Structures are given as structure tokens and as C-alpha cells.
Amino acid sequence: MDDVDLRKLRYFVAVAEQLHFGRAAQKLHIAQPVLSRQIRALEDELKVTLFDRDRRSTSLTPAGRQLLADAPALLSNAEALRRRVRRAARGPRTFTIGFMPGLIVTAAVRALTARHPELTVELVRTSWDDQADVVRDGRVDVSYIRPPVDQTGLTIRPLFAEPRVAVVPSDHRLAGKGSVALADLAHEHLIQDPDAVPEWRDIAVEMRARTRPPTPVFRSVEEKLEHVAAGHGLIVLPLSVATFYTRPDITYLAVEDLAPSPVQLAWDSARRNPLLAEFAEIALSASSG
């Protein structure tokens, strides 16, 4: 694969995702004949056929399916390489920190800038879906993460753990209670993925009865809270997230036997920037102070 043009690889992925040369060309903002020539050139380089085409349809061959499985990681690594090289060219004047919703990193950022007043510190808000990706692809130098994440290639430093709470509508039967046990929630519907709350999964009536509907796809905490407020079910969140998104039509319940949510710091294990370890110590001190 060292002789494969990454541009051709990006063109291939576009066609493989669309399974239509015209739509892929439109997405790439190039002419369809140009795209077809680039794909043929890629097939010649690899000495394989990537697509089966006729007048009605385009489909992937076995070789095409394999390339589609491998190509995104290769393209992501190439983009990460570009970011790291550009960052190295700029020198150590910029340091970018990722953080999950609900986390306040101001104290650590101020401590870092006090030590290095020449440093420009930038902040990137992340999500459950990309919290580790932003480290691997070079968008951030270091990121506050909430497990579980794939730790491959990452250095992880534990910072602290915080309680998790159940978020319910403000008119819920349990609203107003100081705390509840997991058993009190056994008959409730959990809106989010049950794998995110394995303790609830073990006692939930809808799991044992196999009556649970498919889990919707949520793109943000705000979407989850809208469903909670509408009475569709409950969610479990770290306490800092629940308090950050306070609104009058929902409330949160302390759950006595729910394990706390760890918060960790992650960075690329291949990086040698001394600021990474230094910031880890600052973040640990700020979180325990």
C-alpha cells in the first residue's frame, strides 16, 4: 500500500460509500469521467477489480470490500500525520485540550498558562463518539475522557471519579426523593444503550422480558434530555453533566448502588512533548484540589 495515492483512496471510499459514480463525483466536486479514470488507475496499481459495474448498479467486489474496511484507518492516520507535522512546524506555542460535556477544565488551563505564558491554549469540546478519535487524529494534544474507550495507542492517566445519577421527568413518581436504589428503577425504560449502564441491565424487567425496543441514535446530551422530558424513559449521566444541563422539566436522582464514573486524561503514546506529562500532573492536582 506504500505506492497507493491517498487521493485515489479517498475517491475509492466516496464511490464505495455511494455505490454510484455520479453521486460520488458530485460529492467530490470532480467530473465523473475523471473519477472513473482515477478508480481504474487505482485498480491497475493494486492489480485487482474493486467494483462490479453494469448499466443498473455498482457493487463492491471482495477486494473492494476489503479495501473499504482498511482504507478509513489509513486515511485517518495520514491526516493525523499531517496535523502532527504542522504542529511540529509551528513549534510548542500551541497546546490543544479536549474535554467532555459537563467537565470544567478552567483551573488546569489557568495553571498551565501561568507556567507557560507564551503558550496559546486551545480547547475542543468532544463527545462520547469522538473523545478518543480527536487524540489519535491529532486534533488535540490531550483530552479528558470518560471510559469506556479503546485505549490502543493511548497513554491514560486516571484523574477522579464522580457519582452517576438517574435523570427523570420532574413529575416522575420518584422525583423529590433524596436517593433511590437501582431496584427502584427495575421497571423503568432506559433510553440510552444498556451497555452504558450494566448495573441497570442486570435488574431491568424489560431486559429479562425481552420487551425492550431498539435504542435510538442520539447525537447529543440535549437530544437525550428532550426524550426524558417528554416521558419516554430515563437516562443515567455523570453528576457534572446532569447539573450542567439543569432544566425545570427534568430532575436527577442519586442512585445508592450505582458505580461512579471515572474521568481520565489521554494522549497519544507516540508523542514526546514534555507538556503532556506536565499537564497531566497539573490536571491531577486541579481535580483533587
Q: What angle do CA 77, 80, 81 make, to 5 degrees?
A: 85
Distance CA 241, CA 269 (A): 28
- The total number of residues shown for the chain amounts to 289
What is the value of pTM for the model shown? 0.67
pLDDT tens, per residue, the chain with 289 residues: 456 788 899 999 999 999 999 899 888 888 898 899 999 989 988 999 999 988 888 999 999 999 999 888 888 777 777 766 766 665 558 899 999 988 999 999 999 999 999 999 999 999 888 899 899 888 999 999 998 888 988 999 999 999 999 999 999 999 988 899 999 999 999 999 898 899 998 999 999 988 888 888 887 889 999 999 999 999 999 999 999 998 999 999 999 999 999 999 999 998 888 999 999 999 999 987 6
DSSP string, 194-249: GGG-HHHHHH-HHHHTT-PPPPPP-SSHHHHHHHHHTTS-BEEEEHHHHHHT--TT
Distance CA 218, CA 50 (A): 34
Distance CA 22, CA 15 (A): 9
Distance CA 38, CA 12 (A): 8
Q: Give the burial class of 200: count Cβ atoms within 10 A of its Cβ; 0-12 exposed, 13-18 middle, 19 or more buried.
A: buried
Residue 6 is predicted with a pLDDT of: 87
Residue 236 is predicted with a pLDDT of: 95
Of 78, 76, 58, 77, which is closest to residue 18 (Cα–Cα)?
58
Residue 1 is predicted with a pLDDT of: 44
Domain boundaries, the chain: 6-82, 91-160+262-288, 164-259
Distance CA 278, CA 32 (A): 51
Q: Do domains 91-160+262-288 and 164-259 have the same CATH topology?
A: yes
Distance CA 122, CA 165 (A): 30
Distance CA 169, CA 225 (A): 9
- CATH T-level assignment (fold) for domain 6-82: Arc Repressor Mutant, subunit A (1.10.10)
Residue 148 is predicted with a pLDDT of: 86
Count of beta carbons in the 10 Å neighbourhood of residue 93? 10
Domain 164-259 sits in CATH at: 3.40.190.10
Domain 91-160+262-288 sits in CATH at: 3.40.190.10
Chain centroid to CA 90: how far? 27
